[in-house]
Chains A and B, each alone.
Chain A
Amino acid sequence: MDLLKGTLDVLLLKTLSWGPLHGYGVARAIRSQTDDELTVEEGALYPALRRLEARGLLEAEWGTTDTGREAKFYRLTEEGRAELERQTASWGRYVQAMARVLGRETAPEV
């Protein structure tokens, strides 16, 4: 299943809310969390991460992985955390509204 437009950002913020990660780690985390239901083109992560960084929602720093490889790590800023909360709330409302409509059995009274 392809990602809906606009959902990548919130997915990235959520993934990073558990702690700093590098881009490859983020891709791996998304894949395993969604049981491979959502496929994200790995390369597309990078412009998205940098866009979030430009908006001040993430900050980045070079570091070393456990396996001794160098990688750029991303971390949620305070603003990023606040943004995630807002997004989570609005997504909740959106999903509920969609579910109500799609779950209806009888025609609504107009």
Chain B
Amino acid sequence: MSEDRRTSFHGGRPNVSEPPIGTDVRREIDAHVRLAADDLLADGWSEEEALAEARRRLGDEGDIRRRSEREARRRDARIRRARAWEGMMGDVKFAVRSLARSPGFALVALVTLALGIGANTAIFSVVEGILLRPLPYPEPDRLVRVWETGQSGGTMDFSTPSFLDVQRQATSLAAAAAVRPAALTVLGGNEPARIPSALVSHGFWEVFPVRAVQGRLTLPDDHVEGAPAVAVLRESAAARLFGEPGAAIGRPLQTLGQSATIVGVVSNEFDYPADAELWIAQEPFGVNTSRTSHNDDVVGRLAPGATLETARQEIDGIVRRGAELAVDDDPTYLPAGARTESLLESETGDVRQPLVLLWAAAGFVLLVACTNLASTVLARGTSRQREVAVRASLGATRGRIVRQLLTESGLLALVGGAAGIGVAWLMLSVMKPLGAGSLPRLDEVQLSGTVLLFALGVSVVTAIAFGLFPALRVAPDHTASALRSAQQGSRRDMRIWSVLISAEVALALVLLIGSGLMIRSFAEVTSQDPGVDARDVVSSPATLAGPAYADFGLRVRFWEEQMESLARTPSVSAVGLMTAAPVQGFIPTGRISLDLPENYINSPAYVVASEGAFEALDIPLVRGRMFGPADHADAPHVVVVNQTFVEEFSPDRDVMGRRVTGGGMDSFWSADPPVFAEIVGVVGDVRHRSYTEAPRSTIYWNFRQRPSRMGSVVLFAEADPGVDPVSLVPTLRTALRTAEPDIALGFASLRSRLGESVRARTFVLGVLGGFAALAIVLAGVGIYGVVAYTTSQRTREVGIRMALGAEAGGVRALIVRRAMIPVAAGLVLGTVGALWLTSYLESLLFDVSRTDPVTFLAVPVLLAAVAVAASWIPASRSSRVSPTIAIRAE
């Protein structure tokens, strides 16, 4: 048998089948039949019978052919893949060698790419973690947040009756719950603690069907009227209060003047509402029947089959119908309908726009980096044109050369992308502390698989963006023109470079103007006068939790005594308290009426305060007098109002001495006959809500006469001039703790608290500023690179000019002037682009027009200065070259 061999198998690599697979298979089977028939002939069969028998023994020929052909095609595919891989590896090896020959270029390209891709990856990981990743709860896309909408269209919290209507009637919701977030002072653990908490109605754990890691969640029975109060703790808080989560079960916690037993512990992953660690089962049982007291956050889970849209319509209808029934309520504060949003959107809505802005900024940085690289690669390509021409004349096709050059940029982009992931990691470690407290879900931000995939995608797109154009440009159309174009190319390249520089300048300018507007806006925000002098002040939320303080008289006495003794402490110049701090984000308002024939009604902010607070915060008394110890609980009630209140009331009628009633905050307002308080003074305006929101009309009530709102207050202490207020903290804390062990405190300088209120802006600004700086550096480097290269190409021209008597200064100016033409074009283009693009920025700006002339003048001037400097350096170098050397230059 083996003597059948008559073939050489000369080795060599397997080839893709030729002739076509079908023919080859048929030929092989025919050969088989022939050989089989030969054997049969030898056994004495006739030719015809032998062939028929051979085919019969073969089996189903059609089937055999089909299967053979399939296998043959697989073989060919495998060979092609191997070929492609080998070809690519060859290209890669070649690219590595060629990059190694110009390490300077490779380094600059890699650093540029790493920064560009890193910036994008870092921002994307923030966007992904905060905006895109589903919330870490079961079936997060079914969760919704619901608000009532006001008569003027804004959103409000739910009133209890409206919520109960929705909970009972909405068939599009499988479950709904009312949630009241609150920072509660909690006793019963190792020490009094202030814990971010939530009072939750029944249905809460059906909306969030998480599992208890210890014990159980609250059951419907826990929410029945009269049932013992129960609570669920988060692992973190359980560990803090009781040492370990398991020890918490069955233990009582005192808060809000009641005792609640801990029945379960949930994992740290669960944190709705944001940062909450304690969930107390509490039902809004008919406590408040008013449809104008908007106090409940409402969350829901869509019923199977329901969509956001059906829920939206149904809930809106329910709230609307409920409002029509409310005849006793003030129609101004009745809901006009309801708004339903996905929970993820509502949780991240505030930061969506700033984050998208940062993402866009990162995109601009990458574009600047790309134009930068394109011009560098082009410069390098031009100097390599000879090499390319030689390779072309040796038979390399245009496609082959383009592929080779693209491999080089691809390799750069991938290595740069890998370095970019490192840069992103670094950026994140800077950004996360910067954004802490102002960005929701920031702890979920990480370099996840999705983020890495994004980085890879960006790298690939970048490689094509900065590599393809120069590759096509350098690779000759055909061999004949290759050598010629090496000489002719430079003029065409000049034009391309001009375009690239213009583009780079324009892109950088748009980014810089955007950042400039944000910076100006930030300066405006922080220069707003909050109405208080925060410099020498420390403040602390102070909450009394012990049962003794259920007694209002005791409360007032406690605070009167404490403030008196604290004010006597050395280095303390004033002490006071208020139920609202400056720039704190939220302030309750209450409806009041003035004792006038025409029944003046307004809803000013409702703040209970002690006179010491005005002193500590340097809020000036403009007119009249401040309340004092003489205005005790049984004395006639007195209040002071702020200037905005006076302005809103009337420009020409005096507010002093008028009597006010209402406020809606405690039992006082519903007394029958109405109780009145006299306006005895006017104080300066304070921005209680935020830097950016104008002061609202405010009534400051005397704390002696409003003890019911004094369970939770903010304590202010002003230090003597020259004393660091923070140094007072230990003394203050010890004094208060000695008087009342069950008091929760958290001192910080008022200044730092005011700073926290602009943290989100600080974050956006910090990142944006970083990107802007990056863009300006990249643009400078890009301009420098191109001018340096083109000038070196013109050394000869420079030499001739100087030999003919041109001054060095004149030559320098000429070179700089030439470089400035595309820069100027870029500045014009960028300004136009910025005018158009900043319309997306408008809603983020405060007190700065989006066409702010200062920004639109200063930024282009700055960029032009950078461009002049970047081209001046190579220009002055070339003008120093001796003419004789220059003329001889090739």
Which residues on the B side are within 8 Å of A29 (C-beta)?
1
Contact segment of B63-71, B174-182, B473-481, B611-619: B63-71
Interface string of A1-32 (1 = CB under 8 A from B): 00000000000000000111111110011000
CB atoms of A42 and B59 under 8 A apart: yes
CB atoms of A66 and B6 under 8 A apart: yes
Which residues of chain B (747-775) have a CB below 8 Å from chain A?
none
CB atoms of A69 and B5 under 8 A apart: no
Q: Please report the C-alpha to C-alpha distance between residue A42 and residue B58 in the assembled complex, in whole angstroms.
A: 5
Q: B38 contacts the other chain (Cβ, under 8 Å)?
A: yes
Which residues on the A side are within 8 Å of B4 (C-beta)?
21-22, 25, 65-66, 71, 73
CB atoms of A69 and B38 under 8 A apart: yes
Q: A54 contacts the other chain (Cβ, under 8 Å)?
A: yes
CB atoms of B1 and A46 under 8 A apart: no
The smallest C-beta distance from A86 to any residue of chain B, in angstroms, reads: 20
CB atoms of A28 and B1 under 8 A apart: yes
Given contacts A42-B57, A43-B64, A44-B64, contact A50 B5 (CB under 8 A): no
CB atoms of B29 and A46 under 8 A apart: yes
The smallest C-beta distance from A32 to any residue of chain B, in angstroms, reads: 9
| B-side interface residues, number (CB < 8 Å) | 37
Number of A-B contacts (CB under 8 A): 110
Which residues on the A side are within 8 Å of B28 (C-beta)?
23, 46, 71-72
Q: A61 contacts the other chain (Cβ, under 8 Å)?
A: yes
The smallest C-beta distance from B33 to any residue of chain A, in angstroms, reads: 9
Contact among B6, B25, B74 for A46, CB-based, below 8 A: B25
CB atoms of B74 and A75 under 8 A apart: no
Which residues on the B side are within 8 Å of A42 (C-beta)?
32, 36, 57-59
Which residues on the A side are within 8 Å of B74 (C-beta)?
51, 54
Interface string of A30-52 (1 = CB under 8 A from B): 00000000000111101100110
Q: B3 contacts the other chain (Cβ, under 8 Å)?
A: yes
Q: Please report the C-alpha to C-alpha distance between residue A47 and residue B21 in the assembled complex, in whole angstroms.
A: 13
The smallest C-beta distance from A72 to any residue of chain B, in angstroms, reads: 5
Interface string of B242-257 (1 = CB under 8 A from A): 0000000000000000
Which residues on the A side are within 8 Å of B32 (C-beta)?
22-24, 42, 46, 71
Q: B75 contacts the other chain (Cβ, under 8 Å)?
A: yes
Q: B7 contacts the other chain (Cβ, under 8 Å)?
A: yes
Which residues on the B side are within 8 Å of A90 (C-beta)?
none
The smallest C-beta distance from A97 to any residue of chain B, in angstroms, reads: 31
CB atoms of A53 and B35 under 8 A apart: no
Which residues of chain B (448-479) have a CB below 8 Å from chain A?
none
CB atoms of B75 and A54 under 8 A apart: yes
Q: A106 contacts the other chain (Cβ, under 8 Å)?
A: no
The smallest C-beta distance from A80 to any residue of chain B, in angstroms, reads: 13
| 17 further contact pairs, Cβ within 8 A, besides A25-B35, A73-B9 | A18-B2, A19-B2, A20-B2, A21-B2, A21-B5, A22-B31, A42-B32, A42-B36, A43-B29, A46-B29, A47-B71, A51-B74, A63-B5, A65-B35, A71-B32, A71-B35, A72-B28
A residues bordering B, Cβ < 8 Å? 18-25, 28-29, 41-44, 46-47, 50-51, 53-54, 56, 59, 61-67, 69-73, 75
A-B contact pairs, 6 of them (CB 8 A): A22-B31, A43-B63, A51-B71, A54-B78, A59-B9, A66-B6
